[in-house]
Amino acid sequence: MGKAILLAVTVIVVGASVMLLQSSTNRLQADTRQAARQEEALAREIARSAYNLIVSRARQIEAETPDIELADLVALVNGTAGKLTGQLNGGSYEAWIYPIGASSYGAVAIGRYGDASHQIGNHRVLRNVLEVDQPSQVKVTFLESMAGYCSAIYIQRYVPKNNNGMGNNPGQCDPSNPAHGSSCETQEDIELRGNGRYVALEPEMIFPPGHNRDSLSVQPTDFILNPGERVNFILAVDKNCSLEGRWDVPAKKGNKYYDYLRDALVETTDDFAQMQEGSYLMIQAHPTKPNTWRLAFEDLDFEGEFMGHEKLMDVKRYGYGDMIWKVRNGSSWGERNGQYSYGGQGWQELDGQGYFKLKDLYKVDGKIVPDFSDQVIEVEFIPVPTS
């Protein structure tokens, strides 16, 4: 009897100890997971702060020196160490910018806290391109249009909401503002169909679907940009050329006419004032002519390609290389060490106009490659004489 009681007590004590140990282990694991989540959250916040810091520094230098070359901007922002580093909120960060093509730069920030790290990266247009500070006409010329697909070109106007008194007269609006048109919508109506600073008007076709149009120019006399306005261009791809020559086709998202649309510039998620270069476009300012840019579109679709976005970004940043997509190893590849690449060493050749020299590649070893030479236009803003 006494042995049975002793055994029962022993079993109870052992069971309680096991349960206590299991409870302690579960609590420890939960505390560890909670601590890890907190470290990840802090690392993410540090990365965001560092990202904002590096971008703000770049914007300040651009504002103080509007004509600064991209390479000089990168050097000034990153400093002699090649990146900014520091301590923040009990953790650390490093951030830097890097050139992408001719007119944009990328910003990267890494935040660290404890064992956690978080990286943020994005690419932005270097300057507020395709925007005017005086009334201007728009002239668009095809430099290259020898692609197999047919494509239309649309121009889209972005109008500031404070233009011509919009929003300044409670309960009223100014019909002379092109964002209103004749309807004179209320400010609330306008807020529903546009960003807080600009209204995007309906795209207007300036070249109907087609190809093989080298040297063809348009200069719509009724399309006058006012100071503070900006424009976007849209490439609408018609792969089968079933719409060739038609002027009556709209460029709408989710349209049933074109195979796909490619915006030259797209909105950033955090700051509309800093529109960024679209994935399928490479934009470059003319080296000597003011208010003139080349827009080089890639009309092939890389959405379903293995690392399609990375292929587009690699060519835009580094040039063509051998156009064989493979892992590159060795110190000569710098920050791409161990990453996929076409192997370009940067845009080094120029064409007769001073732009980066493009090549018509289409396929290499049976695989499509981005060459950005399919539909290439030059955009020029021509000031309108004041009366």
Backbone angles phi, psi at 350, to 5 degrees: -115, 150
The pLDDT of residue 222 is 80
Q: Which residues of the chain have a pLDDT value below 50? A: 163-172, 179-183, 185-195, 270, 272, 331-334
Same domain, 100 and 153: no
* Contact (CB, 8 A) for 107 and 99: no
Same domain, 91 and 121: yes
The pLDDT of residue 373 is 93
Same domain, 242 and 118: no
Q: Is residue 6 part of a domain?
A: no
Structure tokens given for 147: 């692609």
The pLDDT of residue 69 is 81
Q: Is residue 51 part of a domain?
A: yes
Backbone angles phi, psi at 157, to 5 degrees: -95, 135
Q: Is residue 261 part of a domain?
A: yes
Same domain, 120 and 140: no
Same domain, 359 and 288: yes
Structure tokens given for 62: 């651009």
Same domain, 59 and 155: no
Residue 261 to residue 160: CA distance in whole angstroms: 24
Residue 355 to residue 353: CA distance in whole angstroms: 6
Helix 70-78, helix 2-64: angle, nearest 10: 130
In the three-class reduction of DSSP (H, G, I as helix; E, B as strand; rest coil), residue 92 is classed as strand
How far is residue 277 from each of residues 41, 302, 372, measured CA to CA in Å? 30, 16, 13
Number of domains the chain contains:
2
Same domain, 277 and 360: yes
Partners of 95 in the beta sheet? Answer: 84, 109
Same domain, 153 and 69: no
Indicate the residue among 81, 103, 125 that finishes a domain. Answer: 125
Same domain, 220 and 294: yes
Same domain, 154 and 73: no
Indicate the residue among 103, 125, 147 that finishes a domain. Answer: 125
Q: Is residue 72 part of a domain?
A: yes
Indicate the residue among 68, 99, 125 that finishes a domain. Answer: 125
The pLDDT of residue 193 is 43
Residue 174 to residue 171: CA distance in whole angstroms: 11
Residue 90 to residue 178: CA distance in whole angstroms: 51
Residue 193 to residue 252: CA distance in whole angstroms: 14
- Find, among 327, 326, 345, the residue nearest to 337 by Cα: 327
| pTM for this entry | 0.69
Domain that holds residue 74: 36-125
Q: Is residue 14 part of a domain?
A: no
Q: Is residue 288 part of a domain?
A: yes
Same domain, 101 and 217: no
Same domain, 119 and 153: no
Q: Is residue 183 part of a domain?
A: no
Q: In this structure, are strands 230-238 and 198-200 parallel, antiparallel, or unpaired?
A: unpaired
Q: Is residue 166 part of a domain?
A: no
The pLDDT of residue 21 is 65
